[in-house]
Amino acid sequence: MKDTAIQVKGLQKSYKQLHVLKGVDLEVEKGSIFALLGSNGAGKTTIVKILTTLLKQDSGTATVNGFDVAAKPDNVRQSISLTGQFAAVDEILTGRENLIMIAKLRYLKNPRQVADDLLNRFGLTDAADRRVSTYSGGMRRRLDIAMSLIGKPQLIFLDEPTTGLDPEARIEVWKVVKELANKGTTVFLTTQYLDEAEQLADRIAILHEGKIIANGTLSDLKKLFPPAKVEYVEKQPSLEEIFLAIIGKKEEQ
């Protein structure tokens, strides 16, 4: 068996009466890109928060890099980085100051250099000394992701990294994610966009009504697709069709 970066078993979580996670199982291989797909309110952010030690589960276990998230949160935090659903940047500081602050908090030797490199890599050099409150949504998101790369964490969580971005900015983010994976970083991302999962992910899991209802590579998922309909042109099902078909099937049962 290959190395696992994340292992989740029987994860359950309720907010008061609302039973959001009803026994989630999943596994993420080291160095891979894993996409968690689900509609609004499915519980994607809830899973990310549990895995990043921000929230405690009600039952079930989750291990990240071999450490139990509930029992060893400090060890988990050492090896992860989170880009939450809503940009976690300091609006009053400049882009450069944001990066330097995180680099200092990660005890890197040369915070200014780290900040310069990232500003350059994310095309933010010109805006580096402007307050983040003047940034566009795309710039903010780029800065947010750049902040998460500081200190080269082994595992990065990206919660809907491209929501609200224009197509160009989305492609830029995709490029960054692919680069990360090429360098061996494990990426756990959530998305509502099926094409994003299709583009990026080695494995895709679909979260629906509190459970993972499908999990596999794109071609695995394609096999779940019902036999081709009679059509004039034979065509590959898109992930969107697969998604809707699987959800439809579950709801019929």
Ligand X SMILES: Nc1ncnc2c1ncn2[C@@H]1O[C@H](COP(=O)(O)OP(=O)(O)OP(=O)(O)O)[C@@H](O)[C@H]1O
Residues 190, 160 contacting (CB under 8 angstroms): yes
Rg (CA), the chain: 19
Residues 187, 22 contacting (CB under 8 angstroms): no
Residue type, 224: L
**Could you give the maximum distance between any two Cα atoms of the chain, in Å?**
63
Closer residue to ligand X (CB): 44 or 140: 44
What whole-number distance in Å separates Cα of residue 113 and Cα of residue 117?
A: 6
Closer residue to ligand X (CB): 39 or 134: 39
Q: Which residue in the set 26, 31, 35, 45 belongs to the binding site for ligand X (CB under 6 A)?
A: 45
Q: Which residue in the set 45, 81, 162, 199 belongs to the binding site for Mg ion (CB under 5 A)?
A: 45
Q: Which residue in the set 1, 2, 40, 74 belongs to the binding site for another protein (CB under 8 A)?
A: 74
Q: Which residue in the set 15, 59, 175, 226 belongs to the binding site for ligand X (CB under 6 A)?
A: 15
Q: Tell me the residue number closest to Mg ion, measured at CB.
A: 45
Q: Which residue in the set 23, 59, 92, 240 belongs to the binding site for another protein (CB under 8 A)?
A: 92
Total residues at the site for Mg ion (CB under 5 A)? Answer: 3
Complete DSSP assignment for 148-200: HHTT--SEEEEESTTTT--HHHHHHHHHHHHHHHHTT-EEEEEES-HHHHHHH
Residue 191, φ and ψ in degrees, nearest 5: -160, 155
The binding site for ligand X (CB under 6 A) comprises 15, 18, 20, 38, 40-46, 85, 192
The binding site for another protein (CB under 8 A) comprises 49, 52-56, 74, 77-78, 80-82, 84-93, 97, 101-102, 104-107, 131, 147
The binding site for Mg ion (CB under 5 A) comprises 44-45, 85
